[in-house]
């Protein structure tokens, strides 16, 4: 038995002795090549953009590409696969043209996830751009209701907490719960993606075991831990409550190794998939970050 675990972790009938750990991988060349890249990195889980994330235009997803992707994922035994919304959509936008394009992007992504049999789609909830929280909230709720009404498949939409940058929506657990409560007809299809860097930047301490417990207990009280389906495991370049959305390598940021050891061992989080969106540079790459987070999951929470 590995140190730090007296029992394994069960998920969909599978048994894991360690946390499921992966990274965001590229789809360059063909969407199904992402599976090969995930396997190369020894991922247990992984995240992708299903399209070019930096533009509004997109190439259609062919049936052949979707079929190959689904087959490769099944053969690889990687679970779950997570998709992320592209960068440009802003569901809170008061500008009608941007709002309409953002809603269309959300609908399209839900449809693509259905074809790819991807169970989770992560979305940021955007910025009210100075027009006020209530305006942003109204637009978000309208967009989520419209998209989930139009696309009826098994993909769950995960709302990601933000770092609290100026005019951003849903940096607090209270604000996320307001959105969940406002989705009257589709609550079963909405969950949460908990981003550690964003939470820390927004003022939720994660630097040690006691701090992690307090933060996750608060999340459970306000949102419900069962609604959290994915953890974005990212260290933070910024200090606690800095409102700085800058990801750092695991253990090299302000959360640190002690914090991440506590995070991957937390009783409410450890059965969830941990997906990193950490930098790739001269300091470290995906392989090293996976190795380090996996090692922390083997260790005790001293």
Active site residue 128: no
Q: Does residue 71 have an active-site annotation?
A: no
Q: Does 160 qualify as catalytic in the annotation? A: yes
Task: State the catalytic residue, choosing from 24, 41, 84, 189.
Answer: 84
Catalytic hit among 79, 257, 277, 285: 277
Considering 245, 248, 266, 286, which one is annotated as catalytic?
245
Helices H, strands E: what count in the chain? Answer: 9, 12
Residue 110 and residue 141: Cα distance in Å, rounded? Answer: 16
Q: Which residues make beta-bridge pairs with 47?
A: 24, 82
To the query of whether residue 198 is one of the catalytic residues in this protein, the response is yes
Gap between the Cα atoms of 225 and 103, Å rounded: 28
* Cα radius of gyration rounded to whole Å, the chain: 18
Among 109, 160, 175, 235, the one annotated catalytic: 160
Determine whether 207 is exposed, middle or buried from the number of CB atoms within 10 Å of its CB (0-12, 13-18, 19+).
middle
Is 245 known to be catalytic?
A: yes
Burial class (CB in 10 A: 0-12, 13-18, 19+), 220: middle
Clarify whether 265 is annotated catalytic: no
Find the catalytic residue in 44, 109, 195, 266.
195
8 Å CB contact between 49 and 83: yes
Q: Which of 54, 57, 96, 166 is catalytic?
A: 54
Backbone angles phi, psi at 45, to 5 degrees: -150, 160
Question: Strand 235-236 to strand 247-248: parallel, antiparallel, or no bridges (unpaired)?
Answer: antiparallel
3-state helix, strand, coil in the chain (%, to 5): 40, 15, 45
Give the active site residue among 87, 174, 210, 217.
87
Catalytic residue among 51, 112, 124, 227: 124
Which of 51, 128, 198, 229 is flagged as catalytic?
198
Q: Which of 232, 249, 261, 265 is catalytic?
A: 232
Active site residue 186: no
Can you tell me the distance from the alpha carbon of 239 to that of 255, in angstroms, rounded to the nearest whole number? 8
Active site residue 24: no
Catalytic entry in 51, 189, 247, 254:
247
Instruction: Give the active site residues.
Output: 54, 84, 87, 124, 160, 195, 198, 232, 245, 247, 277
């Amino acid at each position: 038995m590995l140190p730090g675990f007296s029992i394994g972790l069960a998920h969909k009938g599978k048994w894991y002795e360690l946390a499921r750990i992966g990274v965001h991988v590229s789809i360059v060349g063909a969407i199904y090549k992402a599976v090969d890249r995930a396997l190369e990195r020894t991922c247990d889980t992984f995240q992708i953009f299903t399209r070019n994330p930096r533009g509004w235009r997109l190439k259609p997803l062919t049936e052949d590409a979707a079929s190959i992707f689904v087959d490769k994922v099944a053969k690889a035994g990687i679970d779950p696969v997570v998709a992320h919304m592209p960068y440009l959509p802003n569901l809170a936008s008061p500008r009608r043209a941007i709002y309409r394009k953002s809603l269309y992007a959300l609908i399209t992504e839900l449809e693509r996830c259905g074809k790819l049999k991807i169970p989770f789609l992560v979305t940021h909830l955007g910025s009210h751009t100075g027009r006020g929280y209530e305006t942003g909230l109204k637009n978000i709720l309208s967009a989520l209701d419209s998209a989930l009404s139009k696309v009826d498949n098994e993909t769950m939409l995960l709302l990601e907490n933000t770092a609290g940058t100026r005019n951003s929506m849903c940096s607090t657990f209270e604000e996320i719960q307001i959105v969940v409560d406002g989705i009257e007809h589709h609550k079963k299809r909405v969950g949460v993606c908990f981003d550690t860097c964003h939470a820390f930047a927004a003022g939720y301490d994660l630097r040690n075991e006691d701090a992690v417990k307090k933060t996750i207990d608060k999340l459970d009280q306000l949102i419900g831990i069962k609604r959290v389906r994915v953890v974005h495991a990212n260290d933070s370049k910024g200090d606690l409550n800095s409102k700085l959305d800058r990801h750092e390598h695991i253990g090299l940021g302000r959360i640190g190794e002690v914090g991440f050891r506590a995070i991957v061992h937390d009783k409410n989080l450890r059965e969830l998939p941990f997906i990193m969106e950490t930098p790739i540079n001269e300091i470290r790459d995906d392989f090293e970050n996976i190795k380090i987070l996996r090692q922390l999951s083997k260790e005790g929470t001293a």
